[in-house]
Amino acid sequence: MQLSSYSDTLYTTQCYQQEMESIWEHVIQLPEGQDKVVMSQLWQFGKTSAAPTSEDFPALVAHGFIVEQLMDGRLMWRPFTPSLKEFWRVGITVSNAHGYMLKPKRAFEANLLAHIQLHNQGLAPLGKLHL
C-alpha cells in the first residue's frame, strides 16, 4: 500500500470514529424520553435509502441530527454528518423489554472498533466521508 493511500485510510478511519463518537455523545445528552424517540428515528433513518425529510424524522431535525443545507440551489434535509446512517449498527440496541437503548460506552467503543476493523479488511462498508 502506498503511503498516501495508507494515510488517507487512517484519516478516513479517524474521522469516522470521531463522527460516531460525536453522535453517541449527542444522544446520551438528550432528555429522557427524547433519547428513545431519537434512537428510534436513527434506527429507521439508517435503514432507509430515501432522502430524509423533516416530516419523516422530526426528532432528528429538532435535535440537530438532520439539518437543512443548500444543494444545487435548493434547500434539502441532510444528516449533520455522513456517518449518521451507520450509527444504528454500532450504537443502538433494540429489545422487546426495553425498546431502543444506547449501547453503554464500552460496548459502543468495542462495536465501533470491530466495525472499523471489518472495513479495513474490506469486509464491511465504512460510512461515506467528505474529505
The tens digit of pLDDT for each residue in 45-89 reads: 999 988 899 999 999 999 999 999 998 999 999 999 989 999 999
Q: Cβ of 57: how many Cβ atoms within 10 Å?
A: 21
Confidence class for position 130, pLDDT limits 50, 70, 90:
very low
Instruction: Flag whether the pTM goes above 0.75.
Output: yes
Domain ranges of the chain: 3-120
pLDDT for the residue numbered 6: 53
User: Average pLDDT of 8-19?
Assistant: 80
Q: What are phi and psi of 40, to 5 degrees?
A: -60, -45
